[in-house]
């Protein structure tokens, strides 16, 4: 629910001499990295085409850096920039990139979709020099309906995964997120919320295997990495244990007919006593929209709603019967006329300057609490809050099954978001509002710890620094699972090669 206020596989190939065409103005680091790549992998194409650097072509470098980034707050001139961006064409290139970065003491940032809320996949504030390994060229998807599974490479988007599934079957799906431009590599490492989570759990709950590259440049599958590391990958957050090459996901059954609906109410229509998903209000009122996806036809949906949620006042005319793939597009905000092929575009539908936070709610928020929240929302220019109801499978999976711990006892998750368009000019104002609103909500949300969702990254919770205790933020994302994550990290990546501001540390305290 939401409220808003208006205003690829390894291959062998021969080395060519095209490497010598690198412009003399390229950095020594890039030249050394290129030479190391040649020594550690087979290259058969103009390797410079896989690199973007400001020395070679500042315009192309800027375009590539900004191509998938959602949060424009981290693309200002003052933000640190990578020495170069490397786009591997094959898995062997990723292996070599890890080996070479380690040899040359280059810090790596790993990017599959570029959606990290705090820009950690493309900005490193305290690591110099750093490079980006962009996995967007590794996007092969192999669907096997007979085994109810699929392999999806890290650079593929969620939308592409959905599309390739429906290409093979109209009665199979996958319970991942609603944003079709999310990179599947980074999406599943945080848990992966979706509209079918009450039926099937998170995307990460439906992962069968994975292929990663460790800090030594070795490719490991589930059997080779061991069950502890496999556990850590499914919800422990990205950039801590290795480079995700591909996920093997479990397909879930979906009916031929799926029903979707959106019911919108304003405060004037007693919206306080109901509560919801996407909004476009006007005249400075609060609009609440209830959006649903039901795995079945509208007749059955109406029976369920009249029994369980009559207060919403859902009618048959609010409902649209469609296919699973079109229901996914509906939830994602595509126009009804859009064909499924639109999911292959991979372009983010949302680019803005923004700040986000998250909460989990365990007790109903009283009316006075909601009325106070409405007042806070009306103070901001363009706020949005999305509430995801829990129950069903989410309450049945134990909180230690994977690192994502937010399970039984949770009523709903909240995402808070404020966006603006004038960059640094008004950033301080909007950040101040967000923090004040977050403070106001403290007494209505989870406590000890006040929990948060790692895929809605929030550096306000704390960062890895020499004198800091990572438990300050780690317990909020992972509760009691954090200590196990730290232990696995210390054993699997003891030199802390894979790291960022909120990566799992090798020790705490």
By annotation, the residues acting in catalysis are: 456
Contacts of range 30-34, beta carbons closer than 8 Å, 24 or more positions apart: 30/55, 30/83, 30/84, 32/104, 33/84, 33/86, 33/100, 33/101, 33/104, 33/106, 33/131
Burial 116-143 (b: 16+ CB within 10 A, else e): bbbbbbbbbbeeebbbbbbbbebbebeb
Q: How far apart are CA 437 and CA 430, in angstroms?
A: 11
Place of tokens 């919320």: 193
At 484, list the tokens: 């196990």
Nearest C-alpha neighbor of 152 from the set 244, 235, 232: 244
Q: What is the DSSP string of 352-376?
A: BEEEEEEEEE-SPPPHHHHHHHHHH
Residue 436 C-beta-side C-alpha neighbours within 13 Å = 13
Q: 122 — phi, psi (to 5°)?
A: -140, 0
Q: How far apart are CA 335 and CA 324, in angstroms?
A: 15
Number of residues in the chain: 509
The SS3 assignment for 284 reads coil
At 353, list the tokens: 């300057």
Q: How far apart are CA 290 and CA 318, in angstroms?
A: 11
Q: CB within 8 A of 137, min separation 6: which ones? A: 8, 50, 87, 88, 89, 155
4, β-bridge pairs: 287, 384
At 394, list the tokens: 């989410």
Give yes or no for a contact between 123 and 80, defined as CB atoms under 8 angstroms apart: yes
């Amino acid at each position: 629910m939401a409220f808003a206020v208006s205003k690829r596989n390894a291959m062998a190939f021969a080395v060519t001499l095209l490497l010598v065409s690198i412009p003399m103005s390229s950095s020594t680091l890039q030249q050394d990295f290129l030479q190391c790549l040649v020594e550690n992998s087979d290259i058969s194409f103009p390797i410079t085409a896989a690199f973007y650097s400001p020395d070679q072509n500042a315009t192309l470098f800027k375009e590539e850096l900004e191509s998938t980034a959602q949060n424009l707050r981290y693309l200002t001139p003052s933000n640190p920039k990578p020495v170069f961006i490397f786009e591997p064409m094959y898995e062997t290139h990723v292996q070599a990139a890890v080996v070479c970065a380690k040899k040359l003491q280059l810090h790596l940032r790993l990017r599959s979709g570029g959606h990290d809320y705090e820009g950690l996949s493309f900005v490193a504030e305290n690591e110099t020099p750093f490079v980006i390994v962009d996995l967007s060229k590794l996007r092969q998807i192999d669907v096997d309906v007979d085994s109810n599974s699929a392999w999806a490479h890290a650079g593929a988007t969620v939308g592409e995964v959905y599309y390739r599934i429906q290409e093979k079957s109209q009665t199979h799906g996958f319970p991942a997120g609603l944003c079709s431009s999310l990179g599947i590599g980074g999406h599943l490492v945080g848990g992966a919320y979706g509209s079918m989570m009450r039926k099937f759990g998170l995307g990460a709950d439906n992962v069968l295997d994975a292929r990663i590259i460790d800090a030594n440049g070795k490719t490991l599958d589930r059997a080779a990495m061991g069950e502890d590391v496999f556990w850590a990958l499914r919800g422990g957050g990205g950039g801590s244990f290795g480079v995700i090459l591909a996920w093997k996901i479990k397909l879930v059954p979906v009916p031929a007919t799926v029903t979707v609906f959106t019911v919108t109410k304003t405060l004037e229509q007693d919206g306080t006593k109901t509560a919801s998903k996407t909004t476009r209000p006007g005249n400075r009122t609060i609009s609440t929209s209830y959006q649903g996806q039901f795995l079945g036809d509208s007749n059955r949906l109406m029976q369920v709603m009249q029994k369980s949620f009559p207060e919403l006042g859902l009618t048959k005319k609010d409902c649209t019967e469609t296919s699973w793939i079109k229901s996914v597009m509906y939830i994602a905000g595509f126009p009804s006329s859009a064909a499924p092929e639109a999911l292959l575009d991979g372009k983010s539908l949302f680019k803005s300057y923004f700040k986000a936070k998250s909460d989990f709610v365990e007790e109903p928020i009283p009316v006075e609490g909601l009325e106070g929240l409405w007042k806070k929302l009306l103070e901001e220019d363009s706020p949005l809050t999305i509430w995801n109801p829990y129950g069903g499978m989410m309450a049945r999976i134990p909180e230690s099954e994977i690192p994502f711990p937010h399970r039984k006892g949770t009523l709903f998750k909240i995402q808070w978001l404020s966006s603006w368009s004038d960059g640094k000019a008004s950033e301080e104002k909007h950040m101040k509002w967000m923090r004040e609103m977050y403070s106001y909500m403290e007494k209505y949300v989870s406590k000890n710890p006040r929990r948060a969702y790692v895929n809605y990254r929030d550096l306000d919770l704390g960062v890895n620094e020499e004198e800091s205790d990572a438990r300050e933020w780690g317990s909020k994302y992972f509760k009691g699972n954090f200590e196990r994550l730290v232990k696995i990290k210390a054993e699997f990546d003891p030199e802390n090669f894979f790291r960022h501001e909120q990566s799992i540390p090798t020790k705490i305290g």
